[in-house]
Amino acid sequence: MKNKKIFLSVFWMLLLVWGCSAGSQNNTGSENNMTENSEKQDHDKNWQQVLAEKTPLDKDELYKLFPEKLGEFPLILISDNTGTNGAIGSYCHESETSNLNRHITLTIIDGAGYTGFQHINEVHRMLESNYSEKNEKEWLRIEKLNNQKMIFRDKTSDDWAVSGISFLKNLRYHVTLSANRISTNDLRNPVNEIQALKFPE
């Protein structure tokens, strides 16, 4: 039950573009539930320490990570992601996004630095689980895409659908694509596009 609550807390934080503070507060409970062997723990500690010592990208460098086009949609806006060293890009054929039009929102959080690495560590732990929950209107699960574990979300109602795919890039950046009136199947190509981009190590 505790694992489920932690997963949902982190997942909704990612897809709704909340700050990383919620994930950090749940970090202790997550650590108590992990049963990794000592070799895996040593490996995790090493990459976490390296990430914590890195300097986060500045605003201009972060904004440059966003492609001018994602799938069929052009970039119409980039803004800061409050509470994190991250940014949010909106991709749409119209001048503004709404619940009525098809669009993709791309969130990129840089995990470098002391605060950022804690966020990346929390997401990494979630991706190592095999969580899955499904009901009539929503399905949350962890699946592999291009041999990489990612968090998938599909939610539908009578007249609309939202979806999301969230993953780690270079064990540094937390990338989330969330979409309105687009399925996760149709998000796979935009995910491939982001994976193909070169981000600073």
Neighbouring CB atoms inside 10 A of 49's CB total 10
pLDDT of 26 reads 38
Q: Give yes or no for residue 28 having a pLDDT over 90.
A: no
Cβ neighbours around 28 below 10 Å, total: 8
| Residue 19 pLDDT > 50 | no
Q: What is the mean pLDDT of residues 99-110?
A: 95
Which pLDDT score is estimated for 4? 52
Query: How far is Cα 149 from Cα 143, in angstroms, rounded to an integer?
Result: 6
pTM of the model: 0.79
Contact 58, 79 (CB under 8 A): no
Lowest pLDDT segment from 37-51, 88-102, 147-161, 170-184: 37-51
Going by pLDDT thresholds of 50, 70 and 90, the confidence category of residue 94 is very high
Banded pLDDT at 161 (limits 50, 70, 90): confident
Residues 6 or more apart whose CB falls under 8 angstroms from that of 120 comprise 48, 51, 109, 111, 168, 171, 172, 174
Helix 113-127 and helix 2-15: axis angle, to 10°? 120
Q: How confident is the model at residue 178 (pLDDT cuts 50, 70, 90)?
A: very high
Write the pLDDT tens digit of every residue in 120-143: 999 999 999 888 889 888 999 999
What does the alpha-carbon distance between residue 44 and residue 55 come to, in Å, rounded to a whole number?
19
Please report where in the chains the tokens 């069929």 appear, as a residue. Answer: 72
More confident position, 176 or 158: 176
Answer whether residue 154 shows pLDDT above 60: yes
Distance CA 13, CA 62 (A): 20
Which stretches does DSSP call E strand in the chain?
A: 69-70, 73-81, 86-92, 103-110, 132-134, 138-145, 148-156, 161-169, 173-180
Please say if the pLDDT value at position 113 is more than 70: yes
